[in-house]
Amino acid sequence: MDPASTVGDAMNPRVGRLLACCICVLAAAPSVLAQGRFALIVSGASGGSPYAERYDAWRSALVSSLRSDLYFQEKDLFVLAETPGPGVGRASREGVKQAIATLAERLRDDATLLIVLMGHGTFDGIDAKFNLVGPDLDANEWHSLLEPLPGRIVFTNTTSASFPFAERLAGHGRIVITATDGPEQRYETQFAAFFGEAFKVETSDFDKDGRVSVWEAFTGASVKVRRWYEQQGRLPTERSILDDTGDGVGKEAGEAGLDGTIARRTFLDRLVGQGRVSDRLLAALLERRATLEREVNELKAGFARLATDTYAAELERLLLELARVSREIRSRP
């Protein structure tokens, strides 16, 4: 069952009609990402070969995809690794903090920041950590580092024992992906191996719209992880989840629930600002539509926190403005 239909049934008829209208409007107006796109890719302490080679390969595959498939500019890519090199910093506490400090100076409210952690993780029943060169950073410290940042954050922890990060880093309008969903999943994960290629259209464009959303990338990687275990004849020791409602629970790909509402409308490619839209007014309208779509999805994700009348009034306001902007876009030559 569609999550929007479930929400509509639980509320008054006005809200149900508005949600139906919402689905129609959003379906007729595909999302376009706002201007700022940034990525922080960190492959941490490996513990030696063969892990070092594996993590280097996974990191390189993802960074290559961001460049070639999503057209990220070098100045917007922050890459940290166990062994630094040209264009690659050290994956240490200091390296992470410096990268985030630099990002804080450049991020704006309409920006999207992808963070991906690859390597080892630990959980002692109290603190979940991502292993770095030198002292590690735990989930609480990551939360403190990211809390002041504006814009949308897509935080992806691909390590074992990553599940506590979903609860600690969950927040309004934020997307959190973890490779595991419980304390028993403490073995080496495969999610990063497939997430590196998950943003390729030929791999994960399930709705055939020519683009790959964050939800599609998550789903594509998750499906390939399951298939890998089947091919190995092994029981899965990892179940990846995605949370974008802010409750910190998350859900698996294909599982019913509200999670995924924002991720389905979040893209890391760029249609505006790369020469594809030369009409300045049209570009501004596309950006406005993307902002309104994001606000609608965030409102839907947080409906439980609002009074029904307040929710309905705000949803109606956003949909009317979205319809107006969409009409203007269609009227452009």
For residue 81, the domain's CATH number is 3.40.50.1460
pLDDT at 244 over 90: yes
Q: Tell me if 270 is assigned to some domain.
A: no
Whether residue 54 sits in one domain with residue 186: yes
Q: Tell me if 316 is assigned to some domain.
A: yes
- Summarize pLDDT for 161-181 with one digit per residue, the tens: 899 999 999 998 899 999 999
Helix axis angle for 308-331 and 280-301, nearest 10°, is 160
- Summarize pLDDT for 220-235 with one digit per residue, the tens: 999 999 999 999 999 9
The residue assigned the tokens 């002292």 is 135
Domain boundary (208, 235, 265) is at 265
Average pLDDT value over all residues in the chain: 85
- Summarize pLDDT for 318-330 with one digit per residue, the tens: 888 988 888 887 7
pLDDT at 333 over 70: no
* Structural domain for 305, as ranges: 3-18+279-331
Whether residue 251 sits in one domain with residue 298: no
pLDDT at 282 over 50: yes
pLDDT at 251 over 70: yes
**Band of pLDDT at residue 305, cut at 50, 70 and 90:** confident
Whether residue 155 sits in one domain with residue 79: yes
Q: Give the number of domains in the chain.
A: 2
Task: Find the largest Cα–Cα distance for the chain.
Answer: 61
Q: Which letter, b or e, does each residue of 51-74 get, where b requires 16 or more Cβ atoms within 10 Å of its Cβ?
A: bbebbbebbbbbbebbeebbebee
The confidence score (pLDDT) of residue 9 equals 38
The confidence score (pLDDT) of residue 301 equals 73
Whether residue 207 sits in one domain with residue 114: yes
Q: Tell me if 56 is assigned to some domain.
A: yes
Task: Name the burial class of residue 235, with classes exposed (0-12), middle (13-18) and buried (19+) by CB atoms within 10 angstroms of its CB.
Answer: exposed
Spell out the residues 6+ positions from residue 284 whose beta carbon is closer than 8 angstroms to its own: none
Q: Tell me if 273 is assigned to some domain.
A: no
Q: Coil, strand, or helix at residue 127?
A: coil
Whether residue 285 sits in one domain with residue 239: no
